[in-house]
Amino acid sequence: MNMVVKVLMKFMRSLPLMLLILGASTQFGCSSSDNGTPNPDPEQKTPAFQNPRAITVQGYSGDLMEPAISRDGKTLFFNNLNADMLPSGEANETDLHYANHIDDVTFDYVGEVNGANIDTNPDQNELEGVASSDKNNRLYYIYTGDYFDTSGPNYLRSIFYGDFSNGNLTNIQSIPNLKTNRPTEENPIPGQVNFDAEIHYDGEELYFVEGIFSGSSFPDEGNIGIAIKVNGIFTTHQDSENLFENLFANINSNALEYAPSISTNSLEFYFTRASGSVENGIDFGVYVATRNAVSEPWENVERLDVIVGEITEAPSLSFDGNLLYYHQKVNGLYQIYVVERVE
């Protein structure tokens, strides 16, 4: 199997999976509008969370990774182990699953997301994972099966979306490979991979991650960017090379940044940062950045120290901002946890 394919299945919203823009708008995010979210706080403070609890998905056994709570809070999307092989040595397929909300820490497993999971090649883990959804139940996710298909329409594409209803995903489409700092006229090449994506509540902003791979199983770079929907098409900013860098100057670093999650009012931005190396060890942390207004760049980046453990990644903030889901590895198995906001 091509090394980059293996990498794509390993590096996605989580480092163990971590597979691997702004358009014409002058704003960096949405303002308070018809969604009922608060207006920008002139003294926006770093949010605090408490009480980490493991969630239970009744009727499901196995790894729980890349949680994504739906905007109405009724559905939890997740994927199973994002690797091409189980610890037992058996082949593995990474698929999208969902469960119905019972309470904040209990969900009832329903099954796989019909239409999203494509397993046509027995020799390849055609990964589907890392979900997020907007207010209209449009589900975005990562799919790697067509990435190297030079004859197909999805060559070098990994972000897909469709309409989710009653467990079914329909009208599935792909999004062209999105760049963070490639020159506008430069096309992507194999190894430049969007391995993560988070759609904003309003469906007009898409936060994505661009990973740069040069042959090893670990990305050389992992940076977060934003694409804005212009005339129905997500596009990165074409007018100013510095605009992207200024917006994320306090987030992107020499470490790997990925797994974005944006608050409904666009004033809080959660992500994972992985620093270190495979040889010397990797430190995984969940971070939050804040700002006072949507016209400002992200500032005040802090690590959420309440989230501790082995390989803590993949934050997903609830619509009201009161709950933050994430996953971590416990005794060899990935589990989903949740913390609650301190009022």
Domains along the chain with CATH numbers: 3-341 (2.115.10)
The DSSP bridge partners found for residue 199 are 206
Q: How far apart are CA 288 and CA 303, in angstroms?
A: 6
DSSP SS3 for 231: coil
Taking only the tens place, the pLDDT of each residue in 157-204 is 999 999 999 999 999 999 999 987 666 567 788 888 899 999 999 999
Torsion of CA 100, 321, 33, 70, to 10 degrees: -20
Taking only the tens place, the pLDDT of each residue in 123-144 is 666 788 999 999 999 999 999 8
Taking only the tens place, the pLDDT of each residue in 251-277 is 999 999 999 999 999 999 999 999 988
Q: Which DSSP category does 255 fall into?
A: S
Environment class of 324 (CB within 10 Å of its CB; exposed 0-12, middle 13-18, buried 19+): buried
- At position 52, the amino acid (one-letter code) is P
- pLDDT bin (cut points 50, 70, 90) of residue 73 is very high
**Count of alpha carbons within 13 Å of 214, Cβ hemisphere only?**
3
What is the gyration radius of the CA atoms in the chain, in angstroms? Answer: 18
Q: How far apart are CA 53 and CA 5, in angstroms?
A: 34
Q: Tell me which residue of 57, 58, 63 sits closest to 85, measured CA to CA.
A: 63
CA angle 89, 92, 165 (to 5 degrees): 160
pTM: predicted TM-score of the whole model, two decimal places: 0.86
CA angle 95, 101, 107 (to 5 degrees): 60
Taking only the tens place, the pLDDT of each residue in 202-229 is 999 999 998 888 876 678 889 999 999 9
